[in-house]
């Protein structure tokens, strides 16, 4: 089967369209978090939608499992080749054209393999703005962003990826092309089929193109870092900011002191941002495309926050370079956390009004299970997304760390359910969170999801075992 597949791919995609040697396929077996997949049957690298369709038709006819792959920045092992069933990796990296940019309609049509930063730069040159902002935007691909319904830093103002897609082109598991690339801001004609594939993590079809919604480019923005006494004060300050900033608030990040320490350790060039330390910090940003006095807006927020005892100190960036330095704390802390080795990484969503109560109870939970574990809880609290992460005691063996983190995660997810939350705000389910996901599905939810999978992928060969269990017989 493998020899025939490779021959077909070489004939159909050309010599640069298929990789078979282990040293060439190695990078397709790793993701950003360090997880490793198995050696694939091969790596197909189609350069057009028709080539994607050709590959999928062949694999459907010959019952060959396929896993699509974007930029490799996923965190739930959804795009890594499977260890139990050999799979063909289908990389979208050569499908990377910007097809059409319409600044008057505020839309851009792109191939799925376009790197996010490339899209942001292209639309900015036309005085437009694509708001999706991620730490991995220099490597992640827009097709992966769509397939995982990416969130990022600006969800508070602009919404998830689901709100930014106007049209979609998808190759189905049997090789048929489902295309609706109309750049319409309003379209109310029957079922909105594109929504089936946004967030489906490549299990129902392979996204090959999209029409994205743009906004006017903010001509000025302001970034501030604020020191607060506790999470409750942060949440009250958030409510004040939403009402004081005229819907111009694009980011509102919770950063505990532990994260500042991680960032300082990972990036020695950084200096402590404020004169004194604080238990928690807020990193916020406002932006406008019109002539508004953003400095006065934030200074008014500072004044009201001080009067109400919600903040102790703060700094307002006076230049783009200072703003970038403040945002560097948000990025460097992730590297610092990664350097600490094995740890629990969660991506939960909660009603914003419940975040403080959840945070308190979750910290108590960790204290009961391991009083010397370190909680690193940060996130996009303006949209209820909390990354409640736990660093296990360094003295434990790896096996004991794994067992402890498993227990913490299990009980933490039970607490999330009590607060009507979600175990995944933006990272997805993949394979890593599948058991927890299935345990919280109602029978009707499971039946509908399984029915959609069987309808679109009756042989169960596309991203098998991700989100839902493998199909019968696979």
Nearby residues of 112 by Cβ (< 8 Å), 6 or more positions away: 70, 92, 95, 141, 142, 143, 146, 206, 207, 208, 209, 210
What is the number of alpha carbons within 13 Å of residue 216 lying toward its C-beta? 9
Which single residue is written with the structure tokens 């990272």?
A: 427
- Residue 470: pLDDT band with limits 50, 70, 90: confident
Structure tokens belonging to residue 38: 């198995």
CATH no., domain 98-216: 3.30.465.10
Q: What is the pLDDT of residues 205-235, one digit of tens each?
A: 999 999 999 999 999 999 999 999 999 999 9
Q: What is the pLDDT of residues 45-59, one digit of tens each?
A: 999 999 999 999 999
Q: What is the pLDDT of residues 128-148, one digit of tens each?
A: 999 999 989 999 999 999 999
2-93 CATH, one of 3.30.43.10, 1.10.238.10, 3.40.50.300, 3.20.20.30: 3.30.43.10
pLDDT value at residue 473: 37
Neighbours of 7 (CB within 10 A): 11
pLDDT value at residue 246: 83
Q: What is the pLDDT of residues 113-127, one digit of tens each?
A: 999 999 999 999 999
CA distances in angstroms from 262 to 56, 229, 243, 343, 402, listed in the order given: 44, 19, 32, 14, 22
Q: What is the pLDDT of residues 152-206, one digit of tens each?
A: 999 999 999 999 999 999 999 999 999 999 999 999 999 999 999 999 999 999 9
Q: Which of 148, 164, 203, 215 is nearest to 468 (CA)?
A: 203
Domain segments of the chain as ranges:
2-93, 98-216, 220-338, 348-418
Percent residues over pLDDT 70 in the chain: 99
Residue 440 has phi, psi (to 5 degrees) of -110, 5
Class of domain 348-418: alpha beta
CA distances in angstroms from 369 to 52, 140, 348, listed in the order given: 49, 36, 20
Global confidence as pTM: 0.93
- Residue 465: pLDDT band with limits 50, 70, 90: very high
Q: What is the pLDDT of residues 424-452, one digit of tens each?
A: 999 999 999 999 999 989 999 999 999 99
Domains 2-93 and 348-418 share a fold: no
Among the residues of 69-224, which ranges form H helices?
A: 116-124, 142-147, 155-158, 194-197
Cα–Cα distance, 387 to 378 (Å, whole number) = 5
Q: Mean pLDDT across the stretch 323-340?
A: 92
Full strand arrangement of the beta sheet holding 66-69: 18-19, 42-44, 88-91, 66-69
Class of domain 220-338: alpha beta
Query: 2-13 and 49-61 are packed helices; what angle lies between their axes, rounded to 10 degrees?
Result: 160
- Residue 472: pLDDT band with limits 50, 70, 90: very low
Q: What is the pLDDT of residues 286-316, one digit of tens each?
A: 999 888 899 999 999 999 999 999 999 999 9
- Residue 471: pLDDT band with limits 50, 70, 90: low
pLDDT value at residue 230: 97
Inter-residue contact 88 to 59 (CB < 8 Å): yes
Is the per-residue pLDDT at 474 higher than 60?
no
């Amino acid at each position: 089967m493998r020899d025939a597949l490779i021959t077909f791919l070489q004939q159909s995609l050309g010599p640069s369209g298929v990789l078979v040697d282990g040293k060439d396929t190695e990078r397709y077996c790793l993701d950003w978090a360090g997880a490793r997949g198995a050696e694939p049957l091969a790596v197909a690298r189609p350069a057009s939608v028709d080539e994607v369709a050709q590959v999928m038709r062949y694999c459907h006819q010959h019952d060959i499992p396929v896993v699509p792959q974007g930029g490799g920045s996923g965190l739930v092992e959804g795009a890594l080749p499977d260890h139990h069933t050999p799979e063909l990796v289908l990389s979208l990296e050569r499908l990377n054209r910007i097809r059409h940019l319409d600044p008057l309609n505020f839309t851009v049509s792109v191939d799925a393999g376009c790197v996010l930063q490339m899209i942001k730069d292209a639309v900015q040159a036309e005085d437009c703005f694509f708001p999706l902002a991620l730490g991995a935007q220099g490597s992640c691909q827009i097709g992966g962003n769509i397939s995982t319904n990416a969130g990022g830093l600006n969800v508070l103002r602009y919404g998830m990826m689901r709100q930014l897609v106007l049209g979609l082109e998808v190759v189905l598991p049997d090789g048929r092309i489902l295309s609706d690339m109309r750049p319409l801001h309003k379209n109310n004609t029957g079922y909105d089929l594109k929504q089936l594939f946004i967030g489906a993590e490549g299990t129902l079809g392979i996204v090959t193109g999209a029409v994205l919604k743009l906004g006017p480019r903010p001509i000025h923005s302001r970034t501030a870092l604020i020191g607060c006494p506790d999470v409750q004060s942060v949440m009250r300050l958030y409510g004040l900011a939403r009402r004081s900033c005229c819907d111009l608030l694009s980011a509102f990040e919770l950063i505990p002191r532990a994260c500042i320490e991680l960032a300082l350790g990972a990036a020695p060039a950084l200096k402590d941002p404020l004169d004194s330390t604080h238990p928690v910090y807020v990193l916020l940003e406002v932006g406008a495309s019109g002539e508004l006095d953003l400095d006065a807006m934030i200074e008014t927020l500072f004044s009201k926050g001080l009067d109400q005892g919600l903040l102790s100190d703060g700094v307002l960036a006076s230049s783009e370079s200072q703003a970038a330095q403040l945002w560097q704390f948000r990025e460097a802390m992730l590297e610092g956390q990664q350097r600490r080795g094995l740890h629990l990484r969660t991506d939960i969503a909660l009603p914003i009004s419940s975040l403080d109560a959840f945070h308190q109870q979750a910290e108590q939970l960790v204290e009961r299970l391991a009083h010397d574990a370190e909680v690193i809880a940060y996130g996009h609290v303006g949209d209820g997304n909390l990354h409640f992460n736990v660093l296990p005691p360094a003295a434990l063996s790896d096996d004991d760390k794994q067992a402890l983190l498993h227990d913490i995660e299990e009980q933490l997810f039970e607490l999330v359910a009590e607060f009507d939350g979600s175990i995944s705000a933006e990272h997805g389910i993949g394979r890593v969170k599948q058991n927890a996901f299935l345990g919280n599905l109602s029978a009707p939810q499971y039946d509908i999801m399984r029915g959609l999978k069987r309808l679109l992928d009756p042989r169960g060969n596309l991203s098998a075992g991700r989100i839902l269990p493998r199909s019968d017989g696979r």
